[in-house]
Amino acid sequence: MVDTSVILSGIKMDNPVIPASGTFGFGYEFSSIYDINCLGTFSFKGTTRDERFGNPTPRIAECPEGMLNSVGLQNPGVERVISEKLPKLKECFNKKVMANVSGFSIEDYAYTCEKLDSEDQIGWFEVNISCPNVHGGGLAFGTSAKNAAEVTKAVKKVTSKPVFIKLSPNVTDIVEIAKACESEGADGVSLINTLLGMRIDLKRRKPILANKMGGFSGPAIKPVALRMVYQVYDAVKIPIIGMGGISTAEDVIEMMLAGATAVQVGAANLVDPFACKKIIENLPKAMEKYGINSLTEIIGGAHNG
């Protein structure tokens, strides 16, 4: 029998499949259609210090082999996540969850992480410094190695749990930023977040999204994600959570060969709410097909040739 388990910053996961933040809500929304305990874990909806309504509509636009989103970090704020969302999640999910945190200042990131740190159900933090569609936040930190390092340092001071920094692909050198995060104590990095893109309505001759631009995700970005994970794996010693266009068990294996310890699934959840469940069910068969006995043995395997 094949072994699908992996260890992510000291926490054992039954498999490496993680629904990505923003595509799986706070988990309990999906628990009515299948048992979400089959997941390795999941990254819950991006949480900020204060409640956010998000960007104006329309927020979604379809693209060939992908989609654009400009949701704008709509969330109830950290206090309500703690008082309302996590108790509901505890009723249906018995594993550690990943807390995705966003902010508009270093103080915002630190405040939100410190508030969530005492919650026992949280196993890891995923600090999003890479949101491409929120004015004044996210991307400003994710495109600068210096700023990324400062956020990492501030969050590490107030948390006792592993901190993964979520990196933007909309940069000249993602390796430099990953190394800067590692130097300030990041326990891992997540990459990639969405590329920056847009669509134009031919009849109206205006951008489809109210925000004009948004995050481009889906199968079309997988080659970019694989390339960046491969590059970062060569440059850092901390684990990588790989994401970008993952929709099959074979995609998971490919991303792990590039250097990922775990893999997030994003846009596929919005196309098929059972996407992660199907990937997990198909993973053993895909492993057998390619002669893989244990997933931990293939992490970074494409670098050995």
Query: What is the Cα–Cα distance from 37 to 93, expressed in whole angstroms?
Result: 6
Query: What is the Cα–Cα distance from 20 to 217, expressed in whole angstroms?
Result: 11
The residues pairing with 18 across neighbouring beta strands, listed in sequence order, are 264
* Tokens 């936040």 -> residue: 137
**Catalytic site residue from 92, 113, 131, 181:** 131
CA quadruple 46, 52, 53, 59: dihedral, nearest 10 = -40
- State residue 63 phi and psi, 5-degree precision: -140, 155
Tokens of 144: 């600068």
Q: Is 131 a residue of the active site? A: yes
Query: What is the Cα–Cα distance from 195 to 223, expressed in whole angstroms?
Result: 12
- State residue 261 phi and psi, 5-degree precision: -85, -35
In the chain the first and final C-alpha atoms are separated, in Å, by 27
Which helix H or strand E contains 101, and what residues bound it? strand 97-101
Which among 192, 144, 141, 131 is positioned nearest to 172, based on CA atoms?
144
Tokens of 181: 């995060």
Active site residue ranges? 131
